[in-house]
Structure 1
Amino acid sequence: MLLLNPNTNATTTNMMCALAAEDLCSTGMEVRGITVAGGPRMIIDPDALARSERYVREAVSEQLAADSEAAIAGVIVGAIGDPGRAWLSQECRVPVIGIGQASILRAGRHGRRFGMATSTPLLAGSLVLRI
C-alpha cells in the first residue's frame, strides 16, 4: 500500500505509516510512505490545498513509473482535504482513497448523520465540499 503525505513533513509520513501498518498487518500488506518533494509544509488553507495537488500527482506518478502498478495494491492520500485524489483515481489502475474521503464514507454509513471538526478552520469550506 502506498501512503502519500501531501505535506513536506517526513516525520508525519512516518507516523501515518506506523498507524496504517498496524491496521493492515493482518492482511500481509506492506505500507510504503512517500513524502512529497515540494509544496506546503502543512496544508492549512485552501491555497495550500490547491498547491499541494501538483506535488501529489508528481510523487505518485514517479513511484508508479519506478514500480509496476501490480506491486502496489492501492494509494492512500494522507491529508484530510484529499489533494490530488480525484486525479489519481482517474489516472491510476489501483484503488485510491483519501483519508478525508474514507472518514466521510465511514461516518455516513447507513445514512448516519455526522459532524466534522478540524484543527485547520480555514479549510472548513473545502472540507464541506467533500461531503
Structure 2
Amino acid sequence: IYQVTINQTLYSYDIIEENHGKDLYPGGHYIPKECRTEQRLALIICYRNREQHLKMFLNNIHPFLQKQKLDYTIFVVNQHGNDPFNRAALFNVGYLEAMKLYQYDCFIFHDVDLLPEDLRNIYKCGDQPRHMYV
C-alpha cells in the first residue's frame, strides 16, 4: 500500500511535461483540487551535470507529492561552471528565489539522486527539522 514503485525510464523533458504538466500551474506549482492544504511547500533541488538523475527525479516526485495531496512548487537550482559544487550555496539561492515568489510555510532541501519510496514519508514540515530519508 505505502511502497512506491520507482519508474526508472528516462523520458525526455517534453514527455515528462506531457505526463505531469497538465496538472501543474506555470513554474511547476501544484495545488490539489480536492482539499485545502495546511502548508505550501517549496522543494529545492541542487543540480549540476546530472540530467539523467533530474529527469528520473521529476518523473517520480510529481506523482509522489500529488498522492500526498500537497501544495508544492519545485525549484531546480543549477550551478554552472567548473568551480567545486557548492550545495549549501545552491540551497541558499533556492530559498531566496522561492521567497521572492511566495511566503512558503515549508522548505525541503532535496538531493536530485534520492527518490522517496514510501508514502508514509510525508513531505511536510513539523516543529523540528528532520531527515527525509529515514
TM bracket (short chain)? 0.3 to 0.5
Which has the bigger relative contact order, CA under 8 A and spacing at least 6?
A: 2
Q: TM-score, normalised by structure 2?
A: 0.42
- Of Structure 1 and Structure 2, the greater helix share is in 1
Q: TM-score, normalised by structure 1?
A: 0.43
